Amino acid sequence: MEALITPLSSPPLSLYQKPSSSFSPLTTSPLFFPKPHKHLRHRIQNSKYGNFLDLIPENKSDPIKFDLNWLDPSQKPRLDLIVIGAGPAGLCLAERVSRYGIRVCCVDPDPLSMWPNNYGSWVDELSSLGLEDCFDKTWPMSSVHIDDHKTKYLDRPYGRINRKTLKMKLLSGCLSNGVKFHKAKAWKVNHQEFESSIVCDDGSELKASLIVDASGFASSFVEYDKPRNHGYQIAHGILAEVEEHPFDLDKMLLMDWRDSHLGNEPNLRVSNSRFPTFLYAMPFDSNLVFLEETSLVSRPVLSYKEVKARMVARLRHMGIRVKRVIESEKCLIPMGGPLPKIPQSVMGIGGTAGLAHPSTGYMVAKTLALAPILAESIVECLGSTRMIRGQPLYHRVWNGLWPIERRLTREFYTFGMETLLKLDLEGTRSFFDAFFDLNPEYWHGFLSSRLSITELAMLSLSLFGHSSNSSKFDIVTKCPAPLVKMMGNVVLDAI
């Protein structure tokens, strides 16, 4: 849904992300590719509408033309901060920190490449950050199909982020503030008492007082001291030219939980009832639409082949005939799980710092909002005449990004994810039926990660009150274990 997304592997990043820097494509490391549900394997049938999976994506992404300040490693420059990754998180942080005269270098294999994935966001989230000009399309309303008989209309504008506009804006700020760039891949990070260094694949070694990893979920530079029991959001998306489609042009489709398209696919229907997926759609005009079949969260990850099979069946049922696939995305987002070890010698931002929303996968807007907060902590230390370095520096920056209040609210959002993991299709429908009946202040705040722990508790009570009897039964029977786990983690964080 983000642009909920981080491509597993796709030709180039779209409005869809990933992976670039703090959103970079995931590797084939077993850590990030748990075994899929073995029993969910089905053959995709063809029909008179054909199979869009047979179409070759036209993904073409030309590098951005921009004159960057390139670093000369042979000069052994003195740096205060090295940011690994030139995605939204890395560039935003580099731009903010460099405003204060801090010497910053951003290291990325291709700093001028276009981000491969699409990002979506509620309009108010980016507008509050002064980035309202970074949308290339907005819709005044969103819709949610609970089932064939019930649809919710959400009076909250939603938009697709123009990734080129956003990247150019961040690069311009970096250029103005003197940020240096080095085109290389970081291979290794070394630490001394008051200084760290990275070794790159071109043989260069760069030293700085602080290393920030914004290279995405697959990075191995940020350490964990707890089992990484993530949930996983997986999706297949296409930006396509179609003969026609049934979507209202003034509404984006946030979720479509209907399963009538599986009426002639008994195996798919049975598996979907246990591990449901939904359609997410952005209609740009009568013939251009972004379509994405998404598993909100599962553990282990749902089979990618299964997701594509359901999408083929859905589009066939809706009469959507794809003429061209302009962009194609294969996306995976680890959600929830533990935070990285706090503190540690490498700072994280974006996916490496656990900033993906545990219940939705949304991350871009939150990262752009928190980058200035992390920047303040860094500037207080690196820009200080007291020269705060080493362990005191690491402690300040990590706790600046993850103060106790933010850690506690994240535990609550993770509880939400653990609850969703236990719901089948009917339970999921009942949940979102009640969720979008809440006071908009609650569901707005929940989706945007801006509720306090007290407000989250009030949301829970309100959600229970709005729930159907069957949904209340699900809550009472399926939530105790996740609730006990959440309370235990809250106590440990509070100690």
Condensed to tens digits (0 to 9), the pLDDT of residues 444-474 reads 999 999 999 899 999 989 988 888 887 777 7
Residue 211: its H or E element: strand 205-213
DSSP for 128-151 reads: TTT-GGGEEEEESEEEEE-SSS-E
CB neighbour list of residue 337: distance below 8 Å, 6 or more residues apart: 228, 229, 230, 231, 354, 358, 414
Is 90 exceeded by the pLDDT of residue 443?
yes
> What percent of the chain is modeled with pLDDT above 70?
86
CB neighbour list of residue 116: distance below 8 Å, 6 or more residues apart: 7, 10, 11, 12, 13, 14, 16, 17, 18, 19, 20, 25, 61, 329
pLDDT mean over 406-414: 93
Compute the distance between CA of residue 279 and CA of residue 57 in angstroms, rounded to an integer: 20
Is 70 exceeded by the pLDDT of residue 88?
yes
Instruction: Name the nearest CA neighbour of 403 among 443, 453, 368.
Output: 453
CB neighbour list of residue 131: distance below 8 Å, 6 or more residues apart: 166, 169, 368
Is 50 exceeded by the pLDDT of residue 15?
no
| Tokens read off for 324 | 């061209």
Is 50 exceeded by the pLDDT of residue 52?
yes
pLDDT digits (tens, 9 = 90+) for 188-234: 999 999 999 999 999 999 999 999 999 998 889 999 999 999 999 99
pLDDT of residue 485: 63
pLDDT mean over 67-83: 95
Compute the distance between CA of residue 97 and CA of residue 91 in angstroms, rounded to an integer: 10
Is 50 exceeded by the pLDDT of residue 17?
no
**pLDDT class of 45 with cuts at 50, 70, 90:** very low
Going by their DSSP bridges, the two strands 288-298 and 158-161 should be labelled as unpaired
- Show the domains of the chain with their CATH numbers: 36-60+228-334 (3.30.9), 404-495 (no CATH)
pLDDT of residue 136: 93
Greater confidence (472 vs 438) lies with 438
Greater confidence (198 vs 18) lies with 198
CB 274 within 8 A of CB 303: no
Cα-Cα end-to-end distance for the chain: 35
Residue 252: its H or E element: strand 251-256
What integer best gives the mean pLDDT of the chain?
Answer: 87
| Tokens read off for 138 | 């907005």
Greater confidence (61 vs 451) lies with 451
pLDDT digits (tens, 9 = 90+) for 361-383: 999 999 999 999 999 999 999 98
| Tokens read off for 99 | 């405003």
| Amino acid identity for residue 335 in this structure | M
pLDDT of residue 14: 32
CB 144 within 8 A of CB 154: yes
> What percent of the chain is modeled with pLDDT above 90?
75
Compute the distance between CA of residue 118 and CA of residue 134 in angstroms, rounded to an integer: 13
pLDDT mean over 94-110: 97
pLDDT of residue 4: 41
Is 90 exceeded by the pLDDT of residue 59?
no
How far is it between the farthest Cα atoms of the chain? 72
